[in-house]
Structure 1
Amino acid sequence: MARLVQFDRLGGPEVLTLHEVEVSAPGAGEVRIRVDAIGLNRAEIMFREGSYFDQPVFPSSLGYEAAGVVDAVGEGVDGFAEGDPVAVVPAFLQSEYGTYGDHVIVPASAVVPRAADVAPDRAAAVWMAYITAYGPLAESGRVRPGDHVLITAASSSVGLAAIQIARHVGAIPIATTRGAAKKQRLLDAGAAHVIVTDDEDLPDRIKEITDGVGVRLAFDPVAGPGVETIAQGIAPGGFLVVYGALDQRTTPLPNAQSYPALTSSTYTLFEITTDPERLRRAVAFVNAGLTSGSFTPVVDRTFDLADIAEAHRYMAVNGHVGKIVVTVTHDDTTA
């Protein structure tokens, strides 16, 4: 038997329940993984609440990231064998697959090798964060050495990954946080500057930091009306990339009439993870950074799988800096 987190209605963390289910065999093109750690993401809260672009089909599982070892492979799967250490990247719909369990089945296209010396809790904290930041900051070519990059809501796992990637490509990361409590932690994480938006005027501080030039790229997960304020700090010819919707109000992306030299766009990591060639490049880039020490995933706190509802409550409070990880223990006499 396997333990699997499911929910049968929309709602708060209390709808998440841990069930015992029969271990299924992977189908064609699928891999079954014996999970050791799970990385939590804001998308899973939104999915549980019904505010995500993908809607659950009940009873629904959930989850995008995990690390463990291959337990079985389905027909037509090449490159993986039982016992291989692996990690799962977000390359599927949560309405079809999920990673919250001790044995889960996912598409082989969403599985990447994991170095045996990388602990599962670290491996589970990598792929959503680093691939999300990789696209606009590294692959697009929009960010060059010496450019200033604005990273809003920077204490998230994606924000911290963006800080590290910006520094890795020679750019200058400017982080934002609402309150002063996280300022020093962001500086310690590598931000060149931190703007506390509850206390400081964002466009004014950007102009001060950049000597009036503005940032080359703003990387924002919040959206909503605040993008207008962000746009005021972007240099002519610069870019605004919105990759989330934490503020569910209408997002007035700056138009050419108001900001004629600004390019604004939305972005999701699925643009990369569902394209085999782009994913191959992203995995190579991230693994190189991990190997060199340029990239170090930050784990804020770990929870046990049995405490998954409490882990979701902790994430909803927004007090964390970095990734929240759920660890999975196995009873090998029954697993």
Structure 2
Amino acid sequence: MRAAIVTGPGQIQISEVARPEPAPGQVRLRLEGCGVCASNLTPWAGPEWMQYPTEPGALGHEAWGFVDAVGEGVEGLSIGDRVAALSYKSYAEYDLAEADAVVRLPDALLGQPFPGEPLGCAMNIFHRSEIKAGQTVAIIGIGFLGAILTRLATDAGARVIAISRRPFSLDLARSMGAAETIPMEDHSAIIEWVRELTNGTFCERVIEAVGKQWPLDLAGELTRERGKLIVAGYHQDGPRQVNMWLWNWRGIDVINAHERDPKVYVRGLREAVNAIASGRLDPSSLYTHRYPLERLDEALNDTRDRPDGFLKALVTF
């Protein structure tokens, strides 16, 4: 099979390697595609702790495709089933997954890309946020995740204030149901804008979906007394400082909405399958860019640089 190997900072090679064989309890997937996650960007940049070359297919973890082989003891999955999975070397034509981390895709999703891991993450973050009708919810950072959360929160009856840097993202937020949009330009001006929109009380829920220091600072400022600040952004570039005086004084509940239990990931994935298959959620417009495996480096660079109109990259086979 062909697989991508990261050979150094910002460098890949496509190699022919042996197809992996499923162990007991595993299935092998013949992949249709894999989403590109922003969590790849730090390894791609070459931090001191990163070791090269990577294993074939490494970093790819948003896969979907067809069951190609079944290991001993696997029940409920058959060769030919179209599935999404939690797998971890999916920048390749084939990958392995534990059978209990695989979710069958219904015929209603035939032909549609399905990067299950981030879709499941969105459902899990929404649950951890405990968003209810009548609440005001600020979402900071309208990328793939922020756009889906805007739709879910709006459908739950919340009033969403979307805050993002790019005009493209703000237009997208409005299309996903945001009641208000604010350019992410001036820290103090955003605080005053939200203060006016909420009659001085700020927001019952604030979701930080960027993963940087400034948006985290802003999120605390926009959370009302006894509100919830949900950290959905992936903070991977070092320690953070927080305004503990403000968080403590307002009695803010801070939720790090990153699940580590594979069972919870799979539960969210199943919920995403049901929501999209039923038509309650339509992420199709969010998959803005597609690349063949040979252009994975370009996909990663665009995920980093975010050219105009870019939201989510898919590597497809």
So what's the TM-score if we normalise by structure 2? 0.87
How do 1:48-67 residues align onto structure 2 when only pairs under 5 Å count? Answer: 48-50=44-46, 58-60=53-55, 61-67=58-64
Q: Which residue of 1 aligns with 2:299?
A: 311
Shift of residue 265, structure 1, vs aligned partner: 3.3
Identical amino acids, percent of aligned pairs:
22
Shift of residue 120, structure 1, vs aligned partner: 5.0
Amino acid at match of 2:20: S
Q: Which residue of 1 aligns with 2:227?
A: 238
Q: Which residue of 2 aligns with 1:173?
A: 160
1:187 is matched with which residue: 166, 169, 174?
A: 174
Matched, 1:106 2:97: yes
Contact 2:205 2:227 in 1 (8 A): yes
Q: Which residue of 1 aligns with 2:12?
A: 16
Matched, 1:219 2:207: yes
Amino acid at match of 1:118: L
Q: Which residue of 1 aligns with 2:147?
A: 160
Q: 1-side partners of 2:83 and 2:28: how far apart?
A: 11
Shift of residue 321, structure 1, vs aligned partner: 4.4
Q: Which residue of 2 aligns with 1:151?
A: 139
Contact 2:29 2:67 in 1 (8 A): yes
Contact 2:140 2:164 in 1 (8 A): yes
Q: Which residue of 2 aligns with 1:6?
A: 5
Matched, 1:45 2:41: yes
Contact 1:164 1:294 in 2 (8 A): no
Q: Which residue of 1 aligns with 2:198?
A: 210
Amino acid at match of 1:259: N
Structure 1 residues 120 and 46, CA, compared in 2 at 3 Å: closer, same or farther? Answer: farther
How do 1:77-88 residues align onto structure 2 when only pairs under 5 Å count? Answer: 77-88=74-85
Structure 1 residues 144 and 117, CA, compared in 2 at 3 Å: closer, same or farther? Answer: closer
1:265 is matched with which residue: 242, 255, 258?
A: 255
Instruction: Tell me the alpha carbon deviations over residues 121-173 of structure 1, each in whole angstroms, 9 at most, x when there is no partner.
Output: 5212xx333322322322x363111111111111x111111112112322222
Amino acid at match of 2:43: F
Structure 1 residues 56 and 240, CA, compared in 2 at 3 Å: closer, same or farther? Answer: farther
Helix, strand or coil: the match of 2:237? coil
| Paired residue total | 309
Structure 1 residues 62 and 129, CA, compared in 2 at 3 Å: closer, same or farther? Answer: closer
Contact 2:121 2:268 in 1 (8 A): no
Q: 2-side partners of 1:244 and 1:69: how far apart?
A: 30
Shift of residue 104, structure 1, vs aligned partner: 1.5
Q: 1-side partners of 2:240 and 2:214: how far apart?
A: 5
Q: 2-side partners of 1:78 and 1:57: how far apart?
A: 37
Structure 1 residues 121 and 5, CA, compared in 2 at 3 Å: closer, same or farther? Answer: farther
Q: Which residue of 2 aligns with 1:31?
A: 27
Query: After the TM superposition, which of the residue ranges 191-200 and 79-88 deviates more from structure 2?
Result: 191-200
Structure 1 residues 185 and 257, CA, compared in 2 at 3 Å: closer, same or farther? Answer: closer
Shift of residue 88, structure 1, vs aligned partner: 1.8
Q: 2-side partners of 1:87 and 1:311: how far apart?
A: 21
Q: 2-side partners of 1:137 and 1:283: how far apart?
A: 13
Contact 1:180 1:196 in 2 (8 A): yes
Query: After the TM superposition, which of the residue ranges 206-215 and 256-265 deviates more from structure 2?
Result: 256-265
Q: 1-side partners of 2:237 and 2:122: how far apart?
A: 21
RMSD, aligned CA: 2.5
Structure 1 residues 181 and 150, CA, compared in 2 at 3 Å: closer, same or farther? Answer: same
Contact 1:299 1:324 in 2 (8 A): yes
Q: 2-side partners of 1:232 and 1:134: how far apart?
A: 25
Contact 2:191 2:221 in 1 (8 A): yes
Q: 1-side partners of 2:248 and 2:200: how far apart?
A: 16
Shift of residue 38, structure 1, vs aligned partner: 1.3
